[in-house]
Amino acid sequence: MTSSRWLIQKAGYLENDDRELIAQAQSGSHAAFEEIYRTHVGRVYAICLRILADRLWAEEAAQKIFVRAWIKLNSFRAESSFATWLYRLSVNLVLGELNASGRRNLQMVQTAAIPDGSSGGETAPNLRLDLEKAIATLPRQARAVFVLHDVEGWKHGEIAGAMGIAIGTCKAQLARARRLLREVLET
């Protein structure tokens, strides 16, 4: 593998002319699909974790997404980038998981102690951890809207369509999420 291709894959993108790799995976090549998996698993897991706010559930969802991607790979027609197709598949599955589960207000599982900031001022990583923890405390629908809109950059119409809610409900949930985050972060 050339170093430039490795850097592109490490950054999470497939080259425009990398259709051969996708075509190989569509033809049943497990090795090609494994390369696609390694390129995209980080971003897929990150969106799962942000929306679901539970590490184990996010890992489970990411696995389901790649199983679904393997099954639906032949439906990819290269009308958009593969990353966009996979990302849309991911969000749809995660939102379906969230809606079907009935789980509410899940807390992120902590796997390591978070520094208490007693050694001086807070650093950017600590602030990021605080924000991630605060996002995890949001009610599930508000959390999903917040992540899709403010983190991922989706428009209200796209979110409403994906979640099966009205645009007004989407806007109200975003306002609610922002208000709740301000309250949590100011305490």
Could you tell me if 132 and 146 are in contact, meaning their C-beta atoms sit under 8 angstroms apart?
A: no
How is residue 17 written in tokens? Answer: 């002319």
Tokens coding 125: 């990583």
For position 129, what pLDDT does the model report? 62
Q: What is the pLDDT of residue 33?
A: 94
Fold for the domain defined by 1-77: Rna Polymerase Sigma Factor; Chain: A (1.10.1740)
Q: What is the pLDDT of residue 43?
A: 92
For 41, the token pair is 């698993």
* CB 48 within 8 Å of CB 97: no
Three-state SS sequence of 103-116 = CCCCCCCCCCCCCC
pLDDT of res. 47: 92
pLDDT of residue 130: 76
CA torsion angle 73 95 111 106 (round to 10): -160
Q: What is the pLDDT along the chain (187 residues), one digit of tens a residue?
A: 443 344 334 444 444 446 888 999 999 999 999 999 999 999 999 999 999 988 999 999 999 999 999 999 999 988 878 988 999 899 999 988 877 765 443 333 332 333 333 334 444 555 566 788 888 889 989 999 999 999 888 999 999 988 889 999 999 999 999 999 999 888 7
Rounded-to-10 torsion of CA 129, 132, 138, 142: 160
Q: What HEC string does 81-106 produce?
A: CHHHHHHHHHHHHHHHHHHHHCCCCC
How much is the pLDDT for 125? 57
Given this model, what pLDDT does residue 62 score?
Answer: 96
- In degrees to the nearest 10, what's the CA dihedral of 163, 88, 30, 39? -120
Domain ranges for the chain: 1-77
How high is the pLDDT of residue 97? Answer: 83
What is the pLDDT, as a whole number, of residue 99?
A: 75
DSSP class of residue 77 equals -
Q: For position 163, what pLDDT does the model report?
A: 87
